[in-house]
């Protein structure tokens, strides 16, 4: 999208984003998402992401997100444990190693900074 826009996040249709099997710790979580905007250099991405209940690991990018629905606990290796739910804003640092325990299907809107592409 090249222009200003609005998206009703709770009803937005998302596309499958399969997890790598080595990321799944427990359960059968499914991830879906949609990129809504990407900078011309690929350094910034904004979109919607959703995960069904389960436990997965990840290595984070520089990300700010707001939870729209659902709940999760995010354990940051060597750092805090974040409990997030509707209306919460969270920030993850690039390189954070995390374990996500999604209790109730989590939907978030995010802004990721990837640096220069």
Contact 114, 61 (CB under 8 A): yes
What pLDDT is attached to residue 116?
Answer: 54
**Distances from the Cα of 22 to the Cαs of 18, 19, 43, 57, 73, in angstroms?**
12, 8, 27, 8, 19
Tens-digit pLDDT profile for residues 69-85: 999 999 999 999 999 99
**Distances from the Cα of 53 to the Cαs of 30, 92, 105, in angstroms?**
8, 20, 6
What pLDDT is attached to residue 117?
Answer: 45
């Amino acid at each position: 999208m090249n222009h200003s826009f609005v998206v009703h996040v709770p009803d937005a249709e998302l596309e499958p984003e399969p997890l790598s099997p080595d990321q799944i710790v427990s359960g059968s979580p499914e991830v879906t998402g949609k990129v809504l905007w990407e900078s011309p250099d690929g350094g910034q991405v904004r979109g919607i992401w959703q995960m069904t209940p389960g436990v997965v690991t990840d290595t984070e990018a520089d990300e700010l997100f707001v939870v729209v629905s659902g709940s999760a606990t995010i354990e940051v290796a060597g750092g805090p444990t974040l409990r997030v739910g509707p209306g919460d804003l969270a920030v993850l640092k690039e390189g954070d190693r995390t374990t996500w325990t999604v209790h109730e299907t989590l939907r978030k809107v995010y802004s990721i900074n990837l640096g220069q592409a």
